[in-house]
Structure 1
């Protein structure tokens, strides 16, 4: 099983965010990314947010 990641730099936002989240499973990435989105980007934890984040999870590691 490979690593999974999401990179905030790939998402347009008013907050110039450079956070990347990497984990062994998509579920771990989604859970951590939702916490980040709520705390930093002031999103609401909704099924739609989780679905959108899950759709952006990629295989591997973020570029440097």
Structure 2
């Protein structure tokens, strides 16, 4: 099983967020990413948000620098 990640540094935002989240499975990663999007970026937890976030997952671990 390989890790997956999502990295806020890859997406422009007003807050210049530098958070990267990784996990061993899609379910765990999605829950963490949704919690982050809602609490930090003030997104609403909707099926559309979950779908969009899931499409941004990448294999491996986040790079140290972007």
TM range (shorter): over 0.9
In the other structure, the counterpart of 2:23 is 23
Residues in 2 aligned to 1:54 and 1:11: alpha-carbon distance in whole angstroms: 14
Residues in 2 aligned to 1:21 and 1:44: alpha-carbon distance in whole angstroms: 19
In the other structure, the counterpart of 1:36 is 36
The secondary structure found in structure 2 opposite 1:36 is helix
How many residues are paired up? 64
- Taking only aligned residues, the RMSD between alpha carbons, in angstroms, comes to 0.6
| TM-score of the pair, normalised by structure 1 | 0.95
- 4+ long deviations beyond 6 Å: none
1:60 CA displacement: 0.1
1:26 CA displacement: 1.3
Q: Which runs of 5+ in 2 are unaligned?
A: none
Q: Which runs of 5+ in 1 are unaligned?
A: none
| TM-score of the pair, normalised by structure 2 | 0.93
